[in-house]
Structure 1
């Protein structure tokens, strides 16, 4: 199975910074995701829209959105699906550095048991749609969705068989860092712990 790590956002709440390359505990945030999934996947694909050489050092392959401008995470997922050779693809964002192997293991085990479904981590009914396994067979449908001007991740997912993996007891691992204030606060908590 390949992984697509999404690092193509605008980083608006970080003043336009490329979030995946923002340092967290002295290394780029995206490096945490890469290091975490390496034992589980055959290839690391990073979907980014700028700083491709910097991301290429960490990935087996980098891809850019197939559409102009920042079109959201589904465009990044589509770019990754187009170069993946695996039947299912793990999808992760670049900004959840507290994620641990236990959640990857649960996600992959559930996806292997139901390979035709989109498998998504959730806290009860609250989806974490960018922590998912997506069947590559849905690539054509996703491309049509985006070409039709649609961008909503969960709305697209709900058009297909889905299974939710409730990880409420691990919700702190899905803390995503959107601002420098959140990042500094989490770094301080980690250094105290």
Structure 2
């Protein structure tokens, strides 16, 4: 699926929980979080983009191109996903947020395979009881539907995906690949343990 799939890493938010910092560029185990995600996605896609609304040059070092929201004011992740569907040329769009630096290539590959097995549906990760709508694969054939929903005022990826039709990749609630570092306290704790629990993990990436 590599040549037919484009990749998009979402790093365009305000970073409210990070005190306004550009979340994707925050360091985790010695590298920006967005770089970890890009490194895992890169072998699976024909083109790789990052959705970012600031520090464009810094983000550009990790991808083929950067995309910015068409609307000002940080309108949310659906805006970034819509920009990816509009701009990238793959038959499918593999999407992941920048604050999952422990994500592994194998999980992303399983998500791609699920999407291929269910044409026309959006493949989404379910972590225990929670849907993870920003970790997904969308068929580009849904561009018009997503565009129409956006124009009608929809801003929730989760609500829209379920309305358009999903298939789910089930993961455990405590799956370490889905550790979310979206606030300074969690990120600091992870960095402090980098030479312990995460030391061998970093060595293999």
Whether TM exceeds 0.5 here: the answer is yes
Distance in 1, matches of 2:109 and 2:40, equals 11
Task: Tell me, yes or no, if the aligned pair for 1:3 and 1:41 is still in contact at 8 Å.
Answer: yes
Q: Does the Cα contact within 8 Å between 1:49 and 1:64 map onto a contact in 2?
A: yes
Other-structure match for 1:152? 156
Match of 1:138 in 2: 142
Unaligned runs of 5+ in 1: none
When normalised by structure 1's length, the TM-score is 0.95
Structure 1 residue 188 corresponds to structure 2 residue 188: no
Residue 8 of structure 1 contacts residue 50 of structure 1 at CA under 8 Å; is this kept in 2? Answer: yes
**Match for 1:37 among 41, 44, 48?**
41
Counting matched residue pairs gives 193
Kept in 1: contact 2:11–2:51 (CA 8 A): yes
Per-residue deviation, 1:102: 2.1
The farther-off stretch of 122-131 and 26-35 is 122-131
Cα distance in 2 between the residues matched to 1:169 and 1:68? 35
2:55 paired with 1:61: no
Partner of 1:70: 74
How far apart are residue 184 of structure 1 and its match? 1.2
1:134-180 residue CA offsets vs partner (Å, 9 max, x unmatched): 01111122122222222111110111121011011762211111111
C-alpha contact (below 8 Å) 1:88/1:115 kept by paired residues? no
With normalisation by structure 2, the TM-score equals 0.90
* 2:6 matched residue in structure 1: 2
| Partner SS for 2:74 | coil
Three-state SS of the structure 2 residue aligned to 1:49 is: coil
**C-alpha displacement of 1:82:** 1.0
User: What residue in structure 2 maps to residue 108 of structure 1?
Assistant: 112
1:84 maps to 2:101: no
Inter-partner Cα distance in structure 2 for 1:169 and 1:14: 23
Q: 1:33-61 deviations in whole A, cap 9, x for unaligned? A: 11111111111110111111111111101
